[in-house]
Amino acid sequence: MSTIVIIIKLLAILVAAISLGTWFLKEVAKSRAEGTSWMTPYKSIPGILILVSVFVPVIYWIITK
């Protein structure tokens, strides 16, 4: 039973990552179509969420080291 729960948790994380990635790629496409700066997608909600998800583990590692 615990294996099923682990698989469900992994699938939930995978679905969330795919959704966030798709949302971010839509922002990138919109930014390119408008001809705005390369950093504009990173200022949107999905861009901020991606940056936070990358930097939080790094900051945690630095603090605990």
How does pLDDT run across 18-45, given as a tens digit for each residue? 999 999 999 999 999 999 999 999 999 9
Q: pTM for the whole thing?
A: 0.83
Q: What's the chain's average pLDDT?
A: 96
pLDDT higher than threshold 80 for residue 1: no
* Residue 23: alpha-carbon gap to chain centroid: 9
Half-sphere exposure in the Cβ direction for 38 (13 Å, CA):
0
pLDDT higher than threshold 80 for residue 55: yes
The share of the chain scoring above pLDDT 90, in percent, equals: 97
Half-sphere exposure in the Cβ direction for 19 (13 Å, CA):
8
Query: Residue 37 to residues 10, 23, 31, 43, 65: CA-CA distances in angstroms?
Result: 35, 18, 7, 11, 36
Give the separation between CA 9 and CA 38, rounded to whole angstroms. Answer: 34
